Structure 1
Amino acid sequence: MTISFDEIPYDWLKPGNYTEVKANYDRMGKVAYPARTLLITQKLAAGSAAALQQVRITRPDQGRALFGAGSVGADMVETYKLANKTGDLYAIGVADAGTGVAATGSFTFAGAGGGPLPLYVGKVRIPLAVTAAMTAAQIASAAAAAINAVATLPVTAVAALAVCTITAKHKGEVGNGLQLAVARRQGDSVPAGLTVTVAPLSGGANNPDITPVLDAIAAQWFSDIVVPWDDATTLTALAANLAARYQAMGKKDGHLYVGHAGTFGALTTKGGLTNAPQISGMGAKASPSPPWVWAASLAGVAAFQLANDPARQLRTLALPGVEAPAEADRFSDTEQDLLLKGGISTFNVSDDGTVSIDRVVTTYKVSPLGVTDRAWLDIMVPKTMSRVRYDWASYVSLLYPRSKLAEDGSLAAEADDSGVVVTPMRMHGSWSARCQKYERWGWLQNTKETVRQSVFAIDDTDNDRLNARQQVNIIGNMMVLASSLEFWA
């Protein structure tokens, strides 16, 4: 028998009892998975964080100081921490693009009437009290003052004659996702004799360039990433970057979450911008919560739950901080099914207005040859594969850190009882043992068969390299129950 030691010299002669201590990883449990989320945000000039400076977030109110009150960054930090209080969270802010254009909208008043007049910017209610003696111009001025008094709003206001013009604090397309409304909630009303015309925010253009951010995080691991932008240029760049990070030589798996705002047709178009297993988007029509809030809330829930169990679906989980669109603006079951097939995740709304996850899919829809392909449909697929790959690589590194490699049946392998010599068969056995744990943890299924189909062999031209084809079968989820309910006629 040959026993190899790491610390005790092979020719030591001095009498004594010498014992080296080391861990045996044969029966180790799950390898701790480094779940880390990065919020990529827009910052205002008032924010204390330097552009492209990564900051670790521990409290929900940090975003206001770092990125400015009323900023996209403040909203994203607060929403994420509402959905995920314990996750390891970082944020990186970028300034508005120099060529950016801010979105604008307006409230236009006409007539006269006395009583409460509730205006809404997003989900924030701005209460006004108007009198019958006030002119339309005076009401517009009062509205502007009330809006500007709320420093956390993502807009500013200015009055001219009977028009209260609303301008997004940020330049770029983000402002287009903000909703303006009047008397929106049940019980609200507009005083008799007064009319308010709402012009939605629009015209925001030119988002910040994502390239400097990707360069800044090139060497870092983030399991989950959130962005407030859903334009084609940004998403195309992120899809390519995430694909490279997910590859074998990248080893920096990450999943992107993005929010969308628009009609059914607009969301269908957004889903078609990418075909990426590492991107999940959720959208709504006319939601009081802007797209970046949807993205941050979804990311917070998914990052927490999928770190605990990467193979379990997210259905029925609430999205904290997200306010549902009005019932008339919600998509039908048929529309939701089409959105899912088009790469857009879906949600449900309960009677009390709680927004919950219906199904989270990726934007991957077709194979590289253009054939419809559902291999990467659900977010659990890339998340489970990432988890298995990370766990297996870590396990092998711990179990065989300095091992030799020999053919099965060789004298070196037969004489070794210390695990110093690895053979294809021994590695195959380790894979089998690990897969049994993956199945017990509910990540995989049918591992006895998939392990049998897996192959390990020393490379024909490099005896320092062990090649493998490892088969897995990811466990399914109870998504659809289809049954035929029959009766005796």
Structure 2
Amino acid sequence: MSITYPNYQTTNRVPGVFADIDPTFANDASTTLRSLIIGQRLKAGSAPAGTPVIIPSPSVAVSMFGAGSQAAIMVSHYRNIDTFGELWVLPLDDDAAAIPAKGAIALSGTPTGSGTIVFEIDGALVPVVYNAGDAPADIVARIPVAMAQVANIPVAAGDITDASLPLTALNAGECGNDILLGTSDTSSDYTSDGITITFTQLTGGSENPSAALTPALANLGDRTFDFVACGYTDATSLAAMEEFWNDQTGRWSWLQMLFGHVYNARRGTLGEITTFAATVNDQHHSIMPIADSPHSPIRWAAEIAAGVANKARNDPGLPLTQIALTVMPPSLPSRWTFSEQNSLLYEGMSTFSVGDDDTVYILRMVTTYQEDASGMADDAYLDAETMNQLAYVIRDLRAFQAPYLTKKLVSDTTRIAAGSDAISASVVKQALISRYATLETAGYVQNSANFAAGILVQNAGGGQLRELLPVDVVNQVRDIPMLIQFRKS
């Protein structure tokens, strides 16, 4: 058996006892699975637009992106679910041509009693006290004061006119149209005291920062981000993200192998969501329809990405279900029925469930991929778990074979001495079969016998090893239909 050294020169003639360290078989480092939030900042924030920055806490996010900004709000919700994972933010400025969404809260009627109105502004609770005989304008004037006491309110209050308070989204663009105004169920007594509230929902927001998205994404460099929360579902932004993560030239291509998956949410009725679903077809993007949830899609997107990150870091093969979120569910009439959930899943849209205590749970995460390049129905990339598993297995097999790049390649008929720095296609094949069996034992892949029978490793000449690896990722338990054949004796 010959012994080779990575650094020590065998031509050395100087006496001594020397130690040469070979770390090849000691490397068990794992890839850091980072999360990324893409959202708009305010000019008051200290972080420059278009530059990714690591964010340890929501308070730092407020300082860097501005209180009430999309980015700060998304960080806060992300940390509701994932308190320890490495989190980065890619902040964007409002587009120069963007228009902010605008709405209003108006009151009428003189109250006959005292109480509290709990307003909901994008799901944030804003309590306002009223007393018998208060003028509507006086009650309305207390709303901005109460808003100032609540963290990350995404709107600014304008000047009151005729007991009406105008509200403007802090970040300009389409996302402001998803900010809902309402009252909490706990504040319903105000109606019996003679107060009428009229909400003008925010509308008119236009032009997301889509033009800045592509150059900002390029600034991510070679750093990996496996879980990406983004609030933009306009056609231009979706196209930019699909291009960035695509299999041919993007982050999932053979050239980059950086991987990652985008998680998003979208407000709308079943008909609106179905129409939208027909426009997207991307295996690297998952979107959750949220109907009329008081919380906006950007808040949902952040929590979904955080929930997936928490589970996938432990095991990329575990089903992404029964993951509790802190966002508020849609109203009872707007919650998807069983039939509607099934339809949404066939449209490439993900689904959630709601517990008896109104806790929202991720029910199933699917990708928006529905058909192949020829337009035929294709479920190869149906589940988001498949993408997490593929990224894990590919990274493992790459790391496993990295030491081979320092070896000499010989033909299969060449004799190789033990300890030699030479390898052959047959040696690599057997090593890969063994590694696949290890991955199977760990629960990441299955059917190692089929893998061993189907694997091809060929010495193509010129130092190239070509490999065909029939990887079979594990499945997830989805449903358990029981046929109950009862008897009566």
The answer, yes or no, to whether TM exceeds 0.5 is yes
Superposed displacement of residue 24, structure 1: 5.2
Superimposed CA distance per residue, residues 419-477 of structure 1 (whole angstroms, 9 cap, x where no aligned partner): 51111111111111110111111111101212220100111xx3310101000111111
1:402 and 2:406 aligned: yes
Q: Helix, strand or coil for the counterpart of 2:322?
A: coil
Does the C-alpha gap of structure 1 residues 182 and 11 become closer, same or farther in structure 2, counting only changes over 3 Å?
closer
2-side partners of 1:269 and 1:254: how far apart?
Answer: 26
TM-score of the pair, normalised by structure 1 = 0.93
Number of the residue aligned with 2:66: 68
Number of the residue aligned with 1:322: 327
Assess if the C-alpha contact under 8 Å between 1:96 and 1:208 holds in 2: yes
1:376 and 2:377 aligned: no
Superimposed CA distance per residue, residues 119-163 of structure 1 (whole angstroms, 9 cap, x where no aligned partner): 211222222222342333333333344335546311122321032
Number of the residue aligned with 1:345: 350
* Stretches of structure 1 lacking an aligned partner (at least 5 in a row): none
1-side partners of 2:68 and 2:18: how far apart?
Answer: 65
Q: Helix, strand or coil for the counterpart of 2:484?
A: coil
2-side partners of 1:442 and 1:188: how far apart?
Answer: 55
Q: Given residue 304 of structure 2, which amino acid in structure 1 is its aligned partner?
A: L
Q: Helix, strand or coil for the counterpart of 1:282?
A: strand
1-side partners of 2:16 and 2:139: how far apart?
Answer: 94
Does the C-alpha gap of structure 1 residues 97 and 9 become closer, same or farther in structure 2, counting only changes over 3 Å?
closer
Does the C-alpha gap of structure 1 residues 322 and 20 become closer, same or farther in structure 2, counting only changes over 3 Å?
same
Superimposed CA distance per residue, residues 51-75 of structure 1 (whole angstroms, 9 cap, x where no aligned partner): 1232211122211111111111111
Which segment is superposed worse, 250-259 or 465-474? 250-259
Superposed displacement of residue 347, structure 1: 0.9
Which segment is superposed worse, 289-298 or 111-120? 111-120
2-side partners of 1:192 and 1:217: how far apart?
Answer: 55
Number of the residue aligned with 1:476: 475
Q: Given residue 264 of structure 2, which amino acid in structure 1 is its aligned partner?
A: V
Number of the residue aligned with 1:124: 124
Number of the residue aligned with 1:44: 42
Does the C-alpha gap of structure 1 residues 466 and 99 become closer, same or farther in structure 2, counting only changes over 3 Å?
same
1:86 and 2:84 aligned: yes
Number of the residue aligned with 1:295: 301
Number of the residue aligned with 1:450: 451
Superposed displacement of residue 235, structure 1: 1.0
* Stretches of structure 2 lacking an aligned partner (at least 5 in a row): none
Superposed displacement of residue 92, structure 1: 2.1
1:266-281 alignment, distance < 5 Å: 266-281=272-287
Assess if the C-alpha contact under 8 Å between 1:317 and 1:357 holds in 2: yes
2-side partners of 1:4 and 1:147: how far apart?
Answer: 70
Assess if the C-alpha contact under 8 Å between 1:311 and 1:383 holds in 2: yes
Q: Given residue 228 of structure 1, which amino acid in structure 2 is its aligned partner?
A: G
2-side partners of 1:266 and 1:184: how far apart?
Answer: 27
Q: Helix, strand or coil for the counterpart of 1:128?
A: strand
Number of the residue aligned with 2:264: 258
1-side partners of 2:291 and 2:407: how far apart?
Answer: 57
Superposed displacement of residue 360, structure 1: 0.8
Assess if the C-alpha contact under 8 Å between 1:110 and 1:162 holds in 2: yes
Number of the residue aligned with 1:161: 162
Q: Helix, strand or coil for the counterpart of 1:107?
A: strand
Number of the residue aligned with 2:22: 22
Q: Helix, strand or coil for the counterpart of 1:238?
A: helix
Q: Helix, strand or coil for the counterpart of 2:350?
A: strand
Q: Helix, strand or coil for the counterpart of 2:481?
A: coil
Q: Given residue 40 of structure 2, which amino acid in structure 1 is its aligned partner?
A: Q
Q: Given residue 372 of structure 2, which amino acid in structure 1 is its aligned partner?
A: S
Assess if the C-alpha contact under 8 Å between 1:100 and 1:207 holds in 2: yes
Give the paired residue count: 480
Number of the residue aligned with 1:424: 425
Q: Given residue 202 of structure 1, which amino acid in structure 2 is its aligned partner?
A: T
2-side partners of 1:66 and 1:17: how far apart?
Answer: 55
1-side partners of 2:171 and 2:203: how far apart?
Answer: 12
Q: Given residue 406 of structure 2, which amino acid in structure 1 is its aligned partner?
A: R
Superposed displacement of residue 260, structure 1: 1.2
